[in-house]
Structure formats: C-alpha cells, structure tokens
A and B are shown apart, each in its own frame.
Chain A
Amino acid sequence: MNGGDKPGQGGMHDDGMDNDYLWDRSGPVDPEIARLERLLRGHAHVGAPRRQRRAAVQAPTRPRRHWRIALAAAAAFAVCALGMRLWYQQRLQWEAGQPWQVTAQRGDVRIDGRKVHAGSALALAGTLETGTGTMTRLRAAGIGEIAIGEGSRLRLVETRTGRHRVVLQQGSLWARVWAPPGQFGVGVAGADVIDLGCEFLLKVDADGNGSLSVLSGWVQVDNLRREVLVPEGARVRVNGDGAAGTPYAVSATPAFVAALEAIDARTGDVDPHGAEVRRLIAASRAQDAISLLALLRDYPRLAEGPLFERLAALLPTPVATRDAWNTGRMAVLNAWWDALPYPRVKRWWAQWPDVLPSRNGKVTQWLQGQGNG
C-alpha cells in the first residue's frame, strides 16, 4: 500500500466518491458493499492472542552476536564437508593398473611364484598364492581391504577408479569395502560376487564350489541364470557349474537348509504341495523369510502351495493376497521385499564402520572357521 497514492491520484471524481458508507459507514447503506461485508466477515482476523514463542525483544547487539556464531558454525561445517568430500573423492580415485599393497602376511605367501616380503604388491594380472598355515592382507585399491586365507589362489584382473575385480580360483577371501555399490567384485568359477557396500567372506574349492557369507551390508551373486541378493547375516551356496543357491540365514536350522538345498537341486521344479516344501515350511522361522521370498521370486509356481501363506504370515503386508499375486506378482514381491528387516542396499554410506580397519584376529578366525563366518 506504500504506492497507494498513485492509483488514486487524479481520480477524485470517480463514481461513488461521495459514497460515505464506503468511507465511514455514515451515509445510506450501499447494498452491494453491505453484502460483501456480510460475505467476507468470516475471513477477518479473529483476534487470537499473540504467540509468545520469542516475546522478549532482544537488544540490537544480540542478533549480531548470534549471527557471528551461526556464521562461524556454518563456515566450520562447510570446511568439514569440503574436507570429507575431498577425502572421499581421493579415496575412490585409483590409477588404472596400479598394484595393490600387501599390508600384512604370515607364513609362505607368493606372488607370481616369488616370496612376498614387506612392501610387496600385487600387480595387475598377478597371482597371489598362500600355502598351509598362511594368511595375508592387502589394501583393495583405496576402497577397502581383503584378507586371503591358507591354500588360496587369487588373481587381480582389473583395477581402476570405479571398478576393481579379482578372481578367487580357490581358497578363502574376506573383504571389507566402503564404496558405492558395484565397485568391487570377486569372480569365482560359477559366478561373480559383487560388493554392494559390505563385508563378506567367500570360500571356494578348486572346482568353484563353496559359499558366501555376508557379515554386513549386501552382496550380489550373479551367474548366467540367476541374480541373488544376500543380506547381512545370510549365506548362499556358490557352485562351480554356475547354479547359485538360495540365500538363507546363517542361523537357519540344518533341517531348513537341507530342505532348501533339495529344492535348489531341482531348480525349484518340485510339487508346491510336496514333501520338500512341507519340510521347509515346518522348519522355517521369521529369520528365514529371505529364503522363502527368494524361492517365490525365482520359482513362482511354488506360490500355488502353502509357501505363499507361510511367507504372508512371516512378512505381513496388506498387499500380499492371492488375488494380488495372480494379477501382478511383482507388486506383492516388492511389498515383501520392503518388509524384510534388513538395511536398504543403497544405504552403503551409512555403514561407515566398514571404513575402519578390522581386527586381525577376528579375520583370521573367520578365514579358518569351518562355518564360513
């Protein structure tokens, strides 16, 4: 209204300028104005008391002081954020083909037949071998670390910013990686094991048969036929012929694992009401939901039997009905997937403890353990 004089200037002779009702309600009532007053009075200020959140008026100098504190805090935050970003970018950078440093070793460890000593490195296309009772640790480029157990053979096949790949021909490998999903991967005879921001333990024999156990985060196992996501606390069989199994909780009962392996051995081609399925359901617990979900995803025919109701009971969601399954099973699978009690795959950045070095004793125990972690 500061410019209020302008519109009115020169307009003193407009129609209705003598309308005193509009000015101070003193003249005859103008019906249209009275009607508008009646219609619009409900929108007037209701006279609510003033909010007293910050009632006291501050002295003029106080805000300036607060501003200084706020600015200093913002500057400190910006510097920290910039430092973190630079450190993080630096961490992910890796010159193509740059060797991986050996950080620790015990016993007779060889790279391309030559004995490893302090300061040795595994070059691109180089093969690292460990003998009986030995163990070695390496920095996985700048994004993490790996440890190789006894009787292992590992080859570095690719290393550059954004992509690092090794092949575990046999033996055991522990890895802890803190990087965006997909940057680190391990090839075994029948599959590729892709890190999605995690810590895991992989054991295979010379034929490529073995298992993968996930200690934190998620790992993806790919082969030509199947893609399996394995969450923290779960294990999956890997087979040299490329037939990756169905993931199961490390705490699963032997009966459950046996029933699961029986179904996997027939690639899901079992009677949905048959004995294998009934045994599996009888041994299933809440922690086994991941296995049942993977089975229904990969072998949807099994949903014709009681497996569907069992999973619906373990992961209750209003979306999971038989009608919904029959009209569009992806929606049901997605709802179940969202109901799983694991951290989301894309939250790799939240698993910051993975950036810290791991205790040597614990890693050795995992690598030597019979239970694969």
Chain B
Amino acid sequence: MARDHWDDVDEVEALPALVDAARRGSGGAQGALYRRFAPVVHGVLLGYVQKADADDLTQDVFETALQRLGELREAAAFPGWLLSIARHAALDAKRRRAPLTGIEIEAVDANATHEDRLDAQRSLAAIRGLPEAYRETLMLRLVEGLSGPEIAKRTGLSPGSVRVNLHRGMALLRTALTGARMGASVR
C-alpha cells in the first residue's frame, strides 16, 4: 500500500488536521485514514461477522464514512464516529440470515493444521460471546495485533479503559476456552 506524508505525523495530534484534509477531498489524507483505521474497523466487524464479510464491510464502512465526513462536527471524534458506523454496518449485515459471501466456514491461514483451524474457530466464537467492550478490545489485540496503547489511540478510549477491558476480557476468555476444551474432551 502506498504511503503518504500523512502516515508519518503523530497519530493523535494530527488527527483533526488529517480528517479536515480528507474532508476537503485530499486523496492522501483519505488513504492515510484508511490505512490507520482499517484494522480497527476490521477488528470491530469481526466481533459480529465472519472474516470474508468483515473484509468487504471494511471497505463499505470507509466508503460510507468518507461520503459522510462532512456531517462530522468534531474532527477529534472521528475514531468513535467511525466505529459507530462500523457497528451499524455489522449489525445490519448480521440481520441478514446468510453471510454476505455465502461462506459458512471462515477462511483461515492455508498453512494452518486442521486442529489449529478448529481452535481458531473456537477462540473466535468464544471472543464473540463476550460483552461488546471486551470482545472488540480483544479482537483488536489478538487478531489485528494492535497493542493496548495503539487501541487507545485509534478508538478514542482512555488507556485505562482499554487496559481494563483487555484484562477482564482475557480472564473471561480463558474461562470460556477452558469450558469449551472440557466440553470437547467429554464429547
């Protein structure tokens, strides 16, 4: 993906300027917003839909967001605003019975073993079963590979909240996965 000078400026301080530039139609700024926030949008979407649908919806969410950027009053509120668009899109897609792509099994790493694939499915299902705040934070940390500070910067949440969500969510996830493993071994 081609980088732009916008990719090199400070994430938080430069965000309003970046959003304003994108609002004025700067292709570079729009691309930088996409590169910076696409993993966050994708992670949030993954909490609701399968990967193939999340990939498509990520594009849709950005298309919608860039079209409606003029409606955003406070540029600094962009992360929260963008994620609310993503959640709406995900819920809308989820209301449809079948996955958008018609794919039932989530696409995973082709090199993964059968056991790893099953474990990945179980882990994703367990994360999706958590409350929204934990689910989204863990998706960003474990799937999208963002660190806690990065999650805080790109979601607009405070670092303390992200830290709490990560640890409480992880504790719940460990419990859920232990229960799932025990259930599997009984079967």
B11 at the interface (CB under 8 A from A): no
Within 8 A of B (CB), among A28-51: 32-33, 36-37, 39-51
Is the beta-carbon distance between A3 and B149 smaller than 8 angstroms?
no
Q: Is A326 an interface residue (CB 8 A)?
A: no
B141 at the interface (CB under 8 A from A): yes
* Interface pair A24/B148, CB less than 8 Å apart: yes
Q: Is the CB of B162 within 8 A of A60?
A: no
Bound together, the chains give a CA A77 to CA B77 distance in angstroms of 40
Q: Which of A1, A16, A22, A24 has the most CB of B within 10 A?
A: A1
List residues of B (14-50) whose CB comes within 8 Å of A's CBs: 22-25, 27, 30-31, 34-35, 38-39, 42-44, 46
Q: Is the interface of B mostly helix, strand, loop or mixed?
A: helix
Partner of A5, one of B83, B148, B157: B157
Contact B163 A23 (CB under 8 A): yes
Please tell me if A9 contacts chain B, counting CB pairs below 8 Å.
Answer: yes
A1-B132, A43-B108, A45-B38 known; A16+B171 contact, CB < 8 A: yes
Beta-carbon contact of A45 and B43 below 8 Å: yes
Instruction: Judge whether A50 and B31 touch: CB under 8 Å.
Output: yes
B75 CB, nearest partner CB in chain A, Å: 13
Instruction: Determine whether the beta carbon of A55 is less than 8 Å from that of B38.
Output: no
Is A22 within 8 A of B141, CB to CB? yes
- Tell me which residues across on chain A come within 8 A of B119, comparing CB atoms: 39
A57 close to B (CB within 8 Å): yes
Q: How many A-B residue pairs have CB under 8 A?
A: 160
Give A53 to B62 CA distance when docked, in angstroms: 11
Chain A residues near B174: list those with CB within 8 A.
32
A22 partner, pick from B67, B112, B166, beta carbons under 8 A: B166
Q: Which B residues touch A32, using CB under 8 A? A: 174
Q: B154 to nearest A CB, angstroms?
A: 11
A48 vs B51: C-alpha distance in the bound complex, in angstroms?
14
Q: Which of A5, A6, A12 contacts B158 (CB 8 A)?
A: A5
A54: interface (CB < 8 Å): yes
Contacts of A36 in B (CB 8 A): 123, 142, 173
Majority secondary structure of chain A interface residues (helix, strand, loop or mixed): loop
Chain A residues with Cβ below 8 Å from B162 are 4
Q: Is A25 interfacial (CB-CB < 8 Å)?
A: yes
Given contacts A25-B147, A41-B145, contact A47 B168 (CB under 8 A): no
Contact A17 B163 (CB under 8 A): yes
Chain A contacts for B59, CB-based, 8 A:
48, 50-51
B144 at the interface (CB under 8 A from A): yes
Q: How far is the CB of B15 from chain A (nearest CB, A)?
A: 17
- B142: which of A4, A11, A33 is its contact (CB, 8 Å)? A33
- B171 touches which of A5, A15, A41 (Cβ 8 Å): A15
Contact indicator A48/B62 (Cβ below 8 Å): no
Q: Which of B27, B71, B143 contacts A43 (CB 8 A)?
A: B143
Residue A19 is within 8 A (CB to CB) of chain B in the complex:
yes
B42 touches A44 (CB 8 A): yes
**Is A7 within 8 A of B165, CB to CB?**
yes
> Using Cβ atoms and an 8 Å threshold, which residues of chain B touch A1?
44, 83, 132-133, 136-137, 155, 157, 165
Q: What would 12 A/B residue contacts be, using CB atoms closer than 8 Å?
A: A1-B137, A4-B136, A5-B158, A7-B165, A12-B164, A17-B167, A22-B141, A42-B109, A43-B106, A43-B108, A50-B62, A57-B66
A contact set with B: CB distance below 8 Å? 1-9, 11-12, 14-17, 19, 22-25, 32-33, 36-37, 39-51, 53-60, 63
Q: A15-B171, A46-B55 are in contact. List 4 more A-B contacts (CB 8 A).
A: A1-B137, A43-B143, A44-B143, A55-B27
